[in-house]
Amino acid sequence: MIWVYGIREPAEVEPPLESLTAGGLMAVFGRREHERTRDGLWEHERVVETLITVLPMRFASMVAGEDALRRLISERHDSLAAALANVSGRVEVGVRAVGRRETSGREHLLRKLALHEPLAALAVDTRLRPQGGAYLVERDAVPGFTAAVERLQEAHPDVAILCTGPWPPYSFV
Amino acid sequence: MTATREEIASSREVALVDLIDRLLAGGVVIGGDITLSIADVDLVRVSLRALIASVEALE
Amino acid sequence: MDDKLLAAPADVDLFAPRRRIDADPENVERGLAALVLTIVELLRQLMERQALRRVEAGGLDDATVERLGSTLMALEQRMDELKETFGLDDDDLNLDLGPLGRLL
């Protein structure tokens, strides 16, 4: 079994990482499994982040061998290449709000939008999901984005706005 | 101001939910079965194709 | 790279996931509960994704907005309560659902 970390433009990889390339797309993988624990997840994440601009795989993406992996990236070449182009030079930032329970459903949704729209304006792409918002931003736009989050926090003192990142673009594959 | 070890550990805890969300529910997916996860509970690998397909047809 | 927190209020440690206080020795019970939670969570996420998509698109009347929002809110609250019961620790993340997986 091989453990796949991500897909990126061809480049050198450091052992123990290995890679294979098909159609201009390079898959980076290893031979050891990561435990499904806190530490294991962070270990996997650290590897993914060394790949800089990369389409990150879901945790525990394993294939039988290199032939299977090569087939996979060949079959999905066009969509993978398009996704990779989309995230090039960009990172994902996560924002979620915790703390306050609104009094009405309408307030709940209005709050969600009020916290989302100013940030969406600074992002190239967004995903607004139950567990929080994901924002695709240019790498050098992260400080400005963080500042915008801090301004939002000041405007909404009754909730705690938690902003994490930069992440590889897990939500934009 | 440098963060103390406690502060780093604490911020790591907060970011853990986001980490799990991304690693277990995001990223490129291999394989046909749906891999479900709640952010803080283990992965459950089940075949719910029929259910997913019927719900997504509504979207 | 390890510290991924870009912005948070000063009392951020209050928002770290809480540890489980009751150690349930029965793996099977935990497994079943995890399974139920998974299915409930899936349905909730599908519904909420649908709702958020429509909210983002705009053009919803007030009654719909209210109904969507209340439902989402209630579901989120319920899920938070359920999640808290199970908490977040390495044992949970490492849960072995082998036999239960086969049941389905």
Average pLDDT, chain B: 57
Same domain? A14 vs A74 = yes
Q: How many domains does chain B have?
A: 1
Contact of C20 with chain B, judged by CB distance below 8 Å, is answered with: no
Least confident of A1-10, A26-35, C35-44: C35-44
Cα A80 from Cα A124, distance rounded (Å):
18
Residue C99 has pLDDT above 70, yes or no: no
Same domain? A154 vs A134 = yes
Quick one: what percent of chain A has pLDDT higher than 90?
73
Same domain? A57 vs A108 = no
Same domain? A82 vs A8 = yes
The domain containing residue A34 runs over which residues? 2-87
Higher pLDDT, C49 or C69: C69
Quick one: what percent of chain A has pLDDT higher than 70?
99
CB contact under 8 A, C65 and A164: no
Residue C95 has pLDDT above 50, yes or no: no
Residues of B in contact with C42 (CB under 8 A): 36, 48
Residues of B in contact with A167 (CB under 8 A): 18, 22
Confidence at residue C19, expressed as pLDDT on a 0 to 100 scale: 44
Q: Which residue among A105, A112, A149 sits closest to C71, beta carbon to beta carbon?
A: A105
Mean pLDDT of B27-37: 60
Identify the closest residue of chain C to B59 by CA–CA distance: C50
Q: Which residue among B11, B39, B58 sits closest to C3, beta carbon to beta carbon?
A: B11
What pTM value is reported for the model?
A: 0.71
**CA distances, A43 to each of A19, A24, C93 (Å):** 18, 27, 15
Average pLDDT, chain A: 92
Confidence at residue B50, expressed as pLDDT on a 0 to 100 scale: 40
- pLDDT tens per residue, range A35-93: 877 788 899 999 999 998 999 999 889 888 899 999 999 999 999 999 999 999 999 99
Same domain? A19 vs A64 = yes
* Domain range list for chain C: 26-103
Contact of B19 with chain A, judged by CB distance below 8 Å, is answered with: yes
A89: left (phi > 0), else alpha (psi -120 to 50), else beta? left
Q: How many domains does chain A have?
A: 2
Cα A142 from Cα A140, distance rounded (Å):
6
Residue C1 has pLDDT above 60, yes or no: no
Same domain? A107 vs A76 = no
Confidence at residue A118, expressed as pLDDT on a 0 to 100 scale: 95
- pLDDT tens per residue, range B7-21: 555 667 778 878 888
> Which chains form contacts with chain B, at 3 or more CB pairs under 8 Å?
A, C
Q: Which residue among A45, A58, A83 sits closest to B19, beta carbon to beta carbon?
A: A45
Contact of A59 with chain B, judged by CB distance below 8 Å, is answered with: yes
Residue B23 has pLDDT above 80, yes or no: yes
The 10 Å Cβ neighbour count of residue B14 is 23
Least confident of A8-12, B14-18, B55-59, C61-65: B55-59
